[in-house]
Amino acid sequence: MIDATRGKPNARQVALSEGLLAPISVDELQAYKGADLLNYGGGEGLAEMKALFASILDVQPENVIVGGNSSLTMMFDMVSNLVNTGLWIPGKSKILCPSPGYDRHFTICEHLKLEMITIPMTQDGPDMDKAEEMVKDPNVAGIWCVPIFSNPQGCVYSADTVRRLAEMKTANPNFKILWDNAYAMHHFQGSRQTVPSILAECTKNGYENRPILFTSFSKITIPGAAVSCLAASVSFLDKVIRPRIFTQTIGPDKINQYRHIKMFNNLSDIENHMAKHAEILRPKFKLVDDMFKQCLSKTGATFGSPDGGYFISVDTPPNKAKKVEALCKESGLLITNAGATFPYGKDPNDSNIRFAPTFLSLEQLQQAAEIFCSAVSVAIKT
């Protein structure tokens, strides 16, 4: 079986960060700026790590709290915190889910019994006309956002979309923007994409406590040993986040943070590192794009040609995606479950499929794209 179900970095990408595994002495860790990194403390993260994340998210270091290797853990914990503090109410609060979107966002909401409301995605981000209409309902408590190279379509939010999210009048005073900027550094065509600072825009409009931002080094360095963070206004950190974090832990993995700040001094170092990732990923996305243009254009299916991120989004004619998935499996290719990019796994048109080119070798990817194109062609004819 060829497994193209998830967007994982491949072995060559992970090897770019082999330097993180170099030995570190006890003396080095105990002498770091007068702090013993082998002991307790430092619950918010090392200052240099906070500064690196601040530069990625376009916030200040004082807005950042550093976590473990997974931003998903921080997202789940943050939503749990919103529930535990009564800001969001299971069975009552509704969360806007621009779709196609990230299945793990939807799993968090479903696990915590928060109702999900599907709203369309456009090339500029969420359908803001729809969002602005929905937030008139006081039970609508938040929205998931992947602002740069959205999962799976690879869309980048326009400045106008960011502005409208930041100034949007909501009936719910505790409305939150869950800003998952997982792919902020992950371009492989052209220059790095940026969007206006959601925290700055919200603060300008008097909603400084509205956005909660997340990102990580999971697809920058080593996925199983990365560093993640969340960011929010200082007042929200003080009132909601710090009380929980300092109850949960006496200190994060400072040794892993130290490894990362030895490797990256600033944003420029990260950009140079990501250029090496781009050299590996660019041929893979080009291969798939070329094959899809040659094969899928004849079937009525449409697909994206993103400049970054980890996925290609394919839309078949209605009621064909599940058939394509089944045909792929029969032919030895595993792809993301049809429907996974929508809340509750239910694509109303049964048309969207997320294709993940990153993990496979070029040879495997050639085979996967051939099987996929054939499956689409057969599904549409039957």
Q: Could you give the 3-state DSSP secondary structure of residue 320?
A: coil
Q: Which residues lie below 8 Å from residue 189, measured CB to CB, with a gap of 6+?
A: 278, 282, 307, 308
Average pLDDT over residues 233-242: 96
Is pLDDT above 80 for 35?
no
pLDDT per residue as tens digits for the range 64-95: 999 999 999 999 999 999 999 999 999 999 99
> What local confidence, expressed as pLDDT, does residue 380 receive?
94
Q: Are 67 and 252 in contact (CB under 8 A)?
A: yes
d(CA 129, CA 316): 26
> What is the per-residue pLDDT across 196-231, written as a single tens digit (0 to 9) for each?
999 999 999 999 999 999 999 999 999 999 999 999
Task: Give the domains, in start order, of the chain with CATH numbers.
Answer: 2-13+269-381 (3.90.1150.10), 35-266 (3.40.640.10)
Distances (CA, A) of 362 to 5, 130, 202, 280, 284: 16, 40, 43, 10, 6
Q: pLDDT band for 32, please (50, 70, 90 cuts).
A: confident
What would the two tokens of residue 1 be?
A: 């079986």
User: How confident is the model at residue 382, as a pLDDT?
Assistant: 86
pLDDT of residue 101: 98
Distance CA 191, CA 189 (A): 7
Backbone angles phi, psi at 159, to 5 degrees: -60, -35
Stretch 340-355: mean pLDDT, rounded? Answer: 98
Q: How many CA atoms lie within 13 A of 174 on its CB side?
A: 15
Mean of per-residue pLDDT scores for the chain = 96
- The model's confidence at residue 98, banded by pLDDT at 50, 70 and 90, is very high
Asked if 187 and 277 count as a contact pair (C-beta separation under 8 A), the reply is no
Tally of residues, the chain = 382
Rounded to 5°, the CA angle 282-288-293 comes to 120
Residue 297: predicted pLDDT: 82
Please give the model's pTM, rounded to 2 decimal places: 0.97
What the block records as the tokens of 208 is 């400084």
Percent of the chain having pLDDT more than 90?
92
What is the DSSP secondary structure assignment for residue 237, as one 8-state letter? I
Give the torsion sign (CA, 32, 33, 36, 42). Answer: negative
Residue 245's pLDDT is what? Answer: 87
